[in-house]
Amino acid sequence: MNFFNSIASIFQEHLTLIQVSLFAGLISILWFAEVFISANPWKKKLNHSSINFLFIFTALPIQLAITLGVLVISDWVVSHHWGLLFLLPHPESFWVKYVIGFFLLDFFEYAYHVTMHKVNRLWKFHLIHHTDTQLDVSTTIREHPGETFIRVCFLGLWVFLSGASLGLLVLRQTVQTFSNIIAHTHLQLPEKIDRVLGWLLITPNLHHVHHHDSMPYTDCNYGDVFSIWDRIFGTYKEMDHSAINYGLDIFDAKHSDKFVYLVKTPFNEEYLKPKANLPL
Measured CA to CA, the distance from residue 230 to residue 135 in angstroms comes to 22
pLDDT-derived band at 235 (thresholds 50, 70, 90) equals very high
| Domain presence at residue 229 | yes
Tell me which residue of 163, 61, 179 sits closest to 108, measured CA to CA: 163
pLDDT tens per residue, range 168-202: 998 998 899 899 999 999 888 888 999 999 999 99
113 Cβ neighbours under 8 A, 6+ residues apart? 222, 223, 224
| Model confidence at 256: pLDDT above 70 | yes
| Model confidence at 272: pLDDT above 90 | no
pLDDT tens per residue, range 74-131: 999 999 999 999 999 999 999 999 999 999 999 999 999 999 999 999 999 999 999 9
**What domain range is 53 assigned to?**
2-271
Stretch 219-234: mean pLDDT: 96
pTM for the model? 0.88
How many structural domains comprise the chain? Answer: 1
| Model confidence at 217: pLDDT above 80 | yes
DSSP conformation letters of 136-198:
SGGGGG---HHHHHHHHHHHHHHHHHHT--HHHHHHHHHHHHHHHHHHHSS----HHHHHHHT
| Domain presence at residue 163 | yes
| Domain presence at residue 277 | no
| Domain presence at residue 107 | yes
| Domain presence at residue 24 | yes
Report helix, strand or coil for 85: helix
| Domain presence at residue 264 | yes
64 or 276, higher pLDDT: 64
- Range list of H helices, 38-98: 42-53, 55-79, 94
| Domain presence at residue 278 | no
Measured CA to CA, the distance from residue 30 to residue 164 in angstroms comes to 30
| Domain presence at residue 276 | no
Instruction: Answer yes or no: are the C-beta atoms of 253 and 133 closer than 8 Å.
Output: yes
| Model confidence at 274: pLDDT above 50 | no
